[in-house]
Each structure stands twice: as C-alpha cells, then as structure tokens.
Amino acid sequence: MFTDFKNTIDFFIRNKTKFSRKNFVEKDKNLIERNIRENDYYRDVLEQFFKKNLKQNLKILDIGSKNWFYAKGEFDFFNSFSSNFLLKGVELDAHRLYSNFYSRYEVAKYHIKNLKNVEYLADNLLNIEEKFDYITWFLPFITLKPLVFWGLPKKFFKPEKMLLHAYNLLSKNGQMLIINQGEKEAQIQKELLEKLGIKFLELGKIESEFFEYKNERFGFLIKQK
C-alpha cells in the first residue's frame, strides 16, 4: 500500500520534471564489452526465431525498451535483410534516473545515436496505435511483484490488456516474439495467451552462444494471419 503510494508519487514527479544529466557516454570498458555481447545475444535470438520478411518499409516495435541497451542488436538483425525499416522502442518509465543522474531516456539516446531510422518513445504501449510487421517484447511484467519492484505504480499492471493490445498492433503476416524470465513466468505467459485465444508457438528455453543470463529465458512466437 505504502510502496504503491511512493511509486505513484515518484513516477508522477519524474515524468513532470524529466530531470536528467545530458549526453550520456559509456566509458567503462567492461560494461562496453558486456554490452557488445548482449547485443549479439539479442540479435541472435531474433535470428533464431523470426522469419525474414522481404517486403519494403518494414515497421518494427520493441516493447518496454528500458534504456534500450540492446537496440543495436535488434537493428543489426533487421539491417541484415532489409534496406528500409523503421524501428521504434516504447518505454513507459523513460525518465527513471540512475544513480549517476542520467535517465533511461538519455542512456537510450546514446545507444541509438548511430542507428538510422530508430526512435525511442517515452510512452505507454497502450497509446500506440500503428501496425507493425515485427514486435519484440523482452521480459514483460506479467506478475505484479516485479512491476512494483521496478518502481511502477500498480495501475500499470494490465498484462491481459497489454498483450491483446500488442497482438492487435501486428499487421497481416506480422510476427511477435515474447521472451520471459524463468519457467514460472513462461507458464503464466502461456496461460495468458491461451486465455486470450492467441495462437502461439512455444519456443522453450532460449539459448545463445553469445551471452548467458543468470535466469533462464523462455520464448513464444506469435504470428498474425
């Protein structure tokens, strides 16, 4: 109860003030090296599961991008077969501050700086209305605890509504990849998909030679007819 009140006030203030230091640049060699491997991981995961769509003007949405530390991995995957695409990342809590007083927004600007046709949107997924050929959704909040732990007000916990909304954003033949953390969350994700009558392919445990996360990840592929 108190935590939700605190999260609600904090969220309101950071979205009103949008306070941040400007022009973030990562200087820590270890973090830069880790980021390269994580981008390789994200690229590899898309490579493993997405079917390449050769149509012109592809539109792609990444949901819950945080500081979009993996934007280059996603960019590299789509750039490997498309010469003309627009990649958007949407993040509800874009103005959340790190202890160094840079916001996720500023850090995301650094990660997408040299990537053409890539946009980071500080917005709620539920406000997005366009259609997309691809949607990527890494680690959605499908239980309340992590959402609260990450500092979001409880009113944003709407897993069913969000999933249905995301599904409806897919264009004809569109593909959506959802990656969950841990077997328990994957089971909840599966039940949500079943409850909403959304057809899916269960991908099981996600593995990549490029990076290994401490918590196992599981995936689902959804295709729009």
Ligand X SMILES: C[S@@+](CC[C@H](N)C(=O)[O-])C[C@H]1O[C@@H](n2cnc3c(N)ncnc32)[C@H](O)[C@@H]1O
Query: Which single residue brings its beta carbon nearest to ligand X?
Result: 64
Among the listed residues 110, 124, 131, 210, the single contact to ligand X using CB under 6 A: 124
Does position 217 interact with ligand X (CB under 6 A)? The reply is: no
Does position 125 interact with ligand X (CB under 6 A)? The reply is: yes
The per-residue DSSP string of 50-98 comes to PPPP--SSEEEEEES-TT-TTHHHHHHHHHTT-SSEEEEEEETTTTPBP
Does position 93 interact with ligand X (CB under 6 A)? The reply is: yes
Candidate ranges 17-25, 27-35, 59-67, 217-225; the one touching ligand X (CB under 6 A): 59-67
Collapse the DSSP code of 9 into the 3-class scheme (helix H, G, I; strand E, B; otherwise coil) and give the result.
helix
Candidate ranges 13-21, 137-145, 186-194, 210-218; the one touching ligand X (CB under 6 A): 137-145
Among the listed residues 71, 90, 122, 169, the single contact to ligand X using CB under 6 A: 90
Q: What is the DSSP letter of 103?
A: B
- First-to-last C-alpha distance (Å) of the chain: 43
Residue 91 phi/psi, 5-degree rounding, is -140, 120
Among the listed residues 40, 44, 91, 106, the single contact to ligand X using CB under 6 A: 91
d(CA 144, CA 5): 15
- Chain residues in the site for ligand X (CB under 6 A): 63-66, 90-93, 124-126, 138-139, 141, 150, 152, 156, 162
